[in-house]
Structure 1
């Protein structure tokens, strides 16, 4: 667990979170298998910061975001939001559905795909109005003016209010998704690959918008992405996930200038060069990422790590602090 500085106020505390799924039997699979999507991770997020979560597809990033919002079942771990315990699986505690519903306005999500996350049969006004009315944010008669204000805040014209999602470009739809989340005046946003489906120029616009809104509304982000270039320049701290485990965590540029874990080094070496004369050696990982339901003894990265030895194949490494606010789970550090 991170040793946070005393002057940093935590908004989120995740302890030993576990999310396992039954792969199940079917025509092609004759036995039940367990996928350990999230396998005992712990981290904190401070108020007003952007915490990045990176890793290959299938490492458990999106599952972590949904578990934090209490949208999927967990088999272990606990979560505190604003110092309030949301759930503690080991002790059989979970806040009531009614209470969780009231907290939804404080914990919102920006989805990866703006095309599928907006109802095509509803106008933008109705899409955004749903949450405002349900949570009693503002009187129904005043909701139209409030929606126009939020759209303007997100860089959309007020005439957008009467249009349907198919009338907008990809970037504009993502702005609508952001506007819908912000309409509830949240404190914390889970951003699940919010720029993955957008062009590079539009990605920059959306990130600039998110940064502006963070400062103006004092927001806190969990920023989930596989794009390390975005994470490097947008996030205050970053955790690197591999097969349900956080293998490294560091602040700001520290992770990119001084990576410690072999997996982190491989990911960073794959970032495209920003200049033709820049020299960088690409580190190639052995084999493909293993299936999530195949149990790996010891360090989960040992099947692909060029430095794996006997202890790596038999003992699970613990996330430990190797320098100030820099944590690594590796036997060879």
Structure 2
């Protein structure tokens, strides 16, 4: 679409790792960037872009320029039929300092991925009526109906829709109101039971405050990946989990200058293939190692961003590398 460099894309995807890896959900980038030469799509982001370069075997992320609007839009159908594509564009501005935050390189990306993996907004049923969920209903401030209303997740507090009215510096929600029971919603009252989580990625908070997903949000996503056809088609997750090939994989230094030490001495006896790709997806080095300390000569690599592809019994792990001379 234009406006995002390969290093920007890599930085953006690192937010997904931060948000989802703690829940044992991992993403593998195929290192393919399809640029879309279409001015109408560039200046007017919308769902029509999901029909361009769409792939049935993965989640397609459409990254617009940081200057184009303020938008995160997933290809969401219903809670039982999510679509595996979303777009992010534009920036968010702090009204006090006027500092801008590009949305592509933030947890807005994680927010939209959460929708793809079957998460509702934390204010679902309370501060919005989606017309997509026949069971939606407001969650009470005391959380007494959190299992059957709101976002249906009991470890996310009731949220009336913060609507981005959150202080960028303190991460405090700045609004107030009443819930469905008539209970007061006063952020200045420490005894007020209505306390939306300004740090939850699935809320309408501000970029510098969004930082995590809860354990039960993680559980919902993992269950969704085992039962929803659109997600089972792009995931190898099962309810018993899947092995993380990162265990026993150590490498240093990073940044590197001349050599990379691949330390596999904590891994079982086996042969482990590896490849190194540059930021444009071109393979620049490859080889294999036993479970030993392997030194890889990287002196021929230019400065910049690279990616280590490491294979353990067919399981691929991708790690970011940096070369500095």
Say yes or no: TM over 0.5: no
Instruction: Give the number of the structure with larger relative contact order, counting CA–CA contacts within 8 Å between residues 6 or more apart.
Output: 1
- TM-score of the pair, normalised by structure 2: 0.32
